[in-house]
Structure 1
Amino acid sequence: MQAVQYTAFGQRPQLVEVEKPTPGPGEVLLRITASGLCHSDEVVMSFPEEGYPYPMPMTLGHEPAGVVEALGEGATGVEIGDSVIVYGCWGCGVCAMCASGREQLCLKGMVSPGLGVDGAMAEFMIVDTARHLVPIGDLDPVRAASLTDAALTPYQAIKKVLPHLMGGSTAVVIGAGGLGHVAIQLLRTLTSARVIALDVGDEKLEFAREMGAHEAVESNAGAAARIKELTGGVGADVVFDFVGIDPTGATAVAAVKVAGAVVLVGAGGGTAKVGFMAAPFDVEVRTSLWGTRASLIELVEMAHRGEIRIETQEYPISKALQAYADLHDGKVRGRAVVVPGA
């Protein structure tokens, strides 16, 4: 079968031929119907060889949708032919975090398809247990695949700070791309907050408006001042940074109001300077990693109701390397999705 693998340090991924996997005891074999691309893949491929935490080579792809193809011995809970997406946070299942449903924070270390084990950028993949599968019914798998990260990650981030987003509040979304364009929709659905999106270039700002942003502001050195202007000098109640570099972290801290909240989500490797005199008083600053399986189930229901819709660009697996190039160059509108059967 065809698969997109990271095969050599410092190199771009490769389209290769590998053997179709066979499910072991308790495992599930999926025929992949769609696989979303994520900037996290770019982060993995930028790691130095020393201390690299994953196997090599490794099939990429941690946003899978598929159809149950075969069940390993003893696997129960799904049937052959079921259309599903894959909850990507595979914890130990027994530590305190896993017991609370937060497998993304597993104390023994989480792995994920494409981030520790072979992922979904292939014609077939193995899922370790049926409990990591979420049925999607008649949802379009191309749009449903990215519910597993592009929607789940901002949803979990927003849920953490909902008490700040009361009537008359303002939320800022820095980066209206793969995650940010879903965050805008979620904020409009879950809250009455005024939503201000920050990004670069007229095309991306217009996209943010299409997704529901009340205002779209160029993300530059003057962005925080513009947000203060739009909020009567007060600042935003919550700022979500989906980019995660030093300049956006600085903007987030400068744009938030006293006693507001900053949520750092992007994996750009940057920081936000926080201190007694370096940030507004009593501000809450936190990171947020992925989300829970329960939240993913909620998102599937929201998608069925038409409350969120992931904008996608489709590529056949033969064009997967072009998809990664487009992602790297910032040319993807919404989420890039590889469709093996196309």
Structure 2
Amino acid sequence: MKAAILVGPARFEIAEVDRPEPGPGEVRVRLEGTGVCASNVEPYEGQPWSSFPGAPGGLGHEGWGVVDALGEGVTAPAIGARVALLSERAFAEYDVAPAEALVELPEALAGRPFPGEPVACAMNIFRRSDIHAGQTVAIVGIGFLGAILTRLATDAGARVIAISRRPESLALAQAFGAAETIAMDDHWAIIEQVKQLTGERFCERVIEAVGKQWPLDLASALVGMGGKLVVAGYHQDGPRQVNMQDWNWKGIDVVNAHERDPAVHRQGLREAVAAVASGRIDLDRLLTHVYPLDRLGEAITATRDKPDGFVKALVTYA
């Protein structure tokens, strides 16, 4: 099979390698494609602890495709079933995963790309956020994840204030149900706007979905007394500082919404499939850029730089 191998900072090579064989309890999937995650950017560029070369297909974890081989003891899903999977080496034409880490895709999703893992993350973050009707929810950072969370929070009856850098991101937030939008350009001006919009109460819930220091600082400042700060951004470029005095004074709860329990992750994937199949979440507007495997570096660069109209990149396999 063809697989991308990260051989150095910002340098992939496409190699012919042996297809992986499923072990006991595992399933092999012939991948149709995979999403590109913002968490791919820093490892791609190289971190102080990086080592090279990486594993064939490494960093890819948002795949979907067709089951083509079953390991010992596996009876379902059947060969030929179209599935989304939770795996770790999806920047390749085939990947393997435990059978329980796959969710079959219904007929409603036939022929449609489905990077299920990030939608599963959104479902799990939403559950951890404990959002209810009548609350005001600020979402800092509107990309793929922020847009889906805007839709879910709005459907729950919350009033969403979307905060993001790009005008097109704010327009996306409006399309997904945001009641108000604020350009993320001036820290103190944003705080004042949210203060006015909430009658000086600020927000019961604030979701930080960027993964950088300033958005985390801003999100912290927007949480009202006794509210919840939900960290959905993936912080992987070094330690963070927090305003503990402010957290103490306001008595807020802080939720790290990155799930590592496999059972919870699978639950999110099942919910993701149901939400997209039912039309509750519209992925068509979010899957904006498509690349072949030999342009994977471009896909990750676009994920970092966000060219006009960009929300999420896919890598697809012929």
> TM-score under structure 1 normalisation?
0.81
1:3 is matched by which residue type in structure 2?
A: A
Cα RMSD after superposing both structures: 2.3
Alignment correspondent of 2:304: 328
Quick one: which of 158, 176, 179 aligns to 1:214?
179
SS in 2 for 1:15: strand
Task: Supply the distance in 1 between the matched residues of 2:246 and 2:304 (Cα, whole angstroms).
Answer: 37
Quick one: which of 316, 336, 340 aligns to 2:292?
316
Alignment correspondent of 1:284: 253
CA contact (8 A) 2:123 2:271 kept: no
Task: Supply the distance in 2 between the matched residues of 1:217 and 1:199 (Cα, whole angstroms).
Answer: 7
Please state how far the C-alpha of 1:126 moved relative to its aligned partner: 1.8
Quick one: which of 216, 222, 235 aligns to 1:255?
222
Alignment correspondent of 2:127: 159
- Is 2:102 the partner of 1:133? yes
SS in 1 for 2:24: coil
**Runs of 5+ consecutive residues of structure 1 not aligned to the other structure:** 89-112, 114-118
Alignment correspondent of 2:232: 265
- Is 2:280 the partner of 1:307? yes
Which one is further off, 68-77 or 29-38?
68-77
Aligned residues: 304
- Is 2:27 the partner of 1:25? no
Alignment correspondent of 2:93: 123
**Runs of 5+ consecutive residues of structure 2 not aligned to the other structure:** none
In the superposition, relative to structure 1, how do residues 55 and 71 fare at CA in structure 2: closer, same or farther (>3 Å)?
Answer: farther
Please state how far the C-alpha of 1:340 moved relative to its aligned partner: 0.5
Task: Supply the distance in 2 between the matched residues of 1:201 and 1:285 (Cα, whole angstroms).
Answer: 27
Task: Supply the distance in 2 between the matched residues of 1:211 and 1:288 (Cα, whole angstroms).
Answer: 21
Please state how far the C-alpha of 1:277 moved relative to its aligned partner: 4.3
Please state how far the C-alpha of 1:238 moved relative to its aligned partner: 0.5
- Is 2:200 the partner of 1:202? no
Which one is further off, 70-79 or 247-256?
70-79
CA contact (8 A) 2:225 2:251 kept: yes
Deviations 1:154-203 (A, max 9, x none): 221221232xx3332111111111211111112122x1111111111212
SS in 2 for 1:168: coil
**Higher fraction of helix:** 2
Task: Supply the distance in 2 between the matched residues of 1:143 and 1:295 (Cα, whole angstroms).
Answer: 18
CA contact (8 A) 1:254 1:279 kept: no
Task: Supply the distance in 1 between the matched residues of 2:133 and 2:152 (Cα, whole angstroms).
Answer: 16
Task: Supply the distance in 2 between the matched residues of 1:320 and 1:45 (Cα, whole angstroms).
Answer: 10
> TM-score under structure 2 normalisation?
0.87
Alignment correspondent of 1:233: 200
Please state how far the C-alpha of 1:212 moved relative to its aligned partner: 1.9
Deviations 1:38-85 (A, max 9, x none): 0111133355354x4897244131001010011123322211100111
Alignment correspondent of 2:6: 6
Please state how far the C-alpha of 1:327 moved relative to its aligned partner: 0.9
SS in 1 for 2:273: helix
Deviations 1:215-239 (A, max 9, x none): 1111131222211121111101111
User: Equivalent pairs: percent with the same residue?
Assistant: 28
In the superposition, relative to structure 1, how do residues 21 and 277 fare at CA in structure 2: closer, same or farther (>3 Å)?
Answer: closer
In the superposition, relative to structure 1, how do residues 84 and 54 fare at CA in structure 2: closer, same or farther (>3 Å)?
Answer: farther
In the superposition, relative to structure 1, how do residues 241 and 141 fare at CA in structure 2: closer, same or farther (>3 Å)?
Answer: farther
Task: Supply the distance in 1 between the matched residues of 2:222 and 2:112 (Cα, whole angstroms).
Answer: 36
In the superposition, relative to structure 1, how do residues 308 and 280 fare at CA in structure 2: closer, same or farther (>3 Å)?
Answer: farther
